[in-house]
Amino acid sequence: MERGVTPKIATLERRLQSEPESLSLREQILWGYFEDETLHAHPRRIDHILWYVRCFPHNFLCRSPVVQVDPAISLEGYQTVEREWIRLLTKNPRDAEVARGAANFFCTNDLSRAREILHNIINGDPSQADIWMDLGRFSTDPKDRLRFFQEAQRRGSTQPNLLVWIARAAIETSDFTTAKAIGLELLALVDTARSEYGDKLDWKEKGREIWVRALDDTGDRSAASRLVKAISAHAYHKHWGHTVLGRVALHENSLRTALDHLRKSGEVVSDPRLSSYGPSFSLAKEACTNGAWSEVATYLKACESFWKDERLPVWRNKIESQELPDSWVADVQPITEPDRENIAALRKSQYKCEIYMILGRTKLTD
């Protein structure tokens, strides 16, 4: 084993010496460094990031945390990659994908700089749906988020999470008309999937097991991939559709309807997004304030089937004692500009889920 890196990375780097132009090897190496946070400041990680950004600034990984560098742990590394992004922006001032990559790099350390880069593109070409989407993701003001996400939708964005993001921003801004419309749209997607795939959407296997079962059922890799993605999307859309409509029901003073939505939002199988950064607890918190402690405890128990987090049973014990968990009380407070570290952590989790899904993986490594 080479000193300072894992055996897997060491093996891949030795192979890279004989295949220095291999994109596949370079991406596997970047993944290896990314998945081990103790190696994030490793000089060779910086070298690999620099090579990748310089050669493939349009690739998806350049819009993900895989190529981000934290200046707090490697200021020199950050400045090295920063200079490359500045060079690329100067050389390609109207290139939307370069701008998205650069904004992704800067967003965890300088949100205003990231937003400025994206606005420069929009000012020249407002048709860029993905730029509007990224502006929404990098915005701390919920009204701006809603406006940017809706514009991304109007411009034809195909981001699979966009409907949920619009709904969440609408709830934050008390735009319950928009929230209700999106919630119903999400449940319409649920119904469409159910009519096509039936009970297969209730398969509980995860990771490789769900893929093997889908392949056995369909006999075709492409069809199996579509089925696995449909199972995941159904769970995600169902959870958030009912969560959003439950919040709307509470706004309309219909506690019984809200609790029905809460129950249904927890009746889902595993999804990479839900199992990674967790389900929503916003409806559960509101239900507690309306005295529905037992219903919320039941909801938390249901969440344990798809979100393996040691906090869940602790929270459930609190709820059963008719007390809000401390973190829930804190979470009621709105996100403000100083909370950049929290936003960055959320983005990292969200992006990691998306990367795995795009690359066809069904289980996160952590």
pLDDT of residue 347: 45
- Average pLDDT of the segment spanning 86-98: 98
Of all residues in the chain, what percent carry a pLDDT higher than 70?
Answer: 89
- CB distance 131 to 121 below 8 Å: yes
In which band, very low, low, confident or very high, does the pLDDT at 330 lie, cut at 50, 70 and 90?
Answer: low
Is a pLDDT exceeding 60 seen at residue 43?
A: yes
Helix 7-18, helix 23-34: angle, nearest 10: 160
Average pLDDT over residues 170-193: 98
Give mean pLDDT, residues 66-89: 97
Length of the chain: 366
Whether the per-residue pLDDT at 359 is higher than 60: the answer is no
Mean pLDDT of 58-63: 96
pLDDT tens across 194-219, in order? 999 999 999 999 889 999 999 999 99
Dist. CA 78–CA 65, nearest whole Å = 13
**280-322 per-position pLDDT tens digit:** 999 999 999 999 999 999 999 999 999 999 999 999 999 999 9
Q: Is the pLDDT of residue 364 over 60?
A: no
Confidence of residue 161 (pLDDT cuts 50, 70, 90): very high
Tell me the average pLDDT across 249-273: 97
Average pLDDT of the chain, as a whole number: 90
Q: Report how far residue 159's alpha carbon sits from residue 269's, in angstroms, rounded to the nearest whole number.
A: 22
Burial class (CB in 10 A: 0-12, 13-18, 19+), 296: buried
CA distances from 293 to 262, 266, 324 (A): 12, 15, 9
Q: For residues 150 and 139, what is the distance between their CA atoms, to the nearest angstrom?
A: 13
* Domain regions of the chain by residue span: 181-271+280-334
Summarize the confidence of residues 328-354 as an average pLDDT.
44
Q: What average pLDDT does range 140-158 have in this prediction? A: 97
- pLDDT at residue 277, rounded to an integer: 83
Task: Provide φ and ψ at 240, rounded to 5°.
Answer: -75, -35
The tokens describing 254, both together, are 């219909």
Alpha helix stretches (DSSP H) within 68-175: 75-91, 96-106, 111-124, 129-137, 142-154, 162-172
For residue 53, is pLDDT > 60?
Answer: yes
pLDDT at 276: 85
- Residues 71/77/80/86 CA torsion (nearest 10 deg): -40
Give the range among 147-161, 162-176, 233-247, 329-343 with minimum mean pLDDT: 329-343
pLDDT for residue 336 is more than 70: no
Indicate if the pLDDT at residue 352 is higher than 90. Answer: no
Q: Tell me the pLDDT tens digit for each residue of 8-28.
A: 999 999 999 999 999 999 999
**What is the per-residue pLDDT across 68-79, written as a single tens digit (0 to 9) for each?**
999 999 999 999
Per-residue model confidence (pLDDT) at position 130: 97
Is the model's pLDDT at 354 over the cut of 80?
A: no
Q: What is the CA radius of gyration of the chain?
A: 22
In this prediction, residue 3 carries a pLDDT of 53
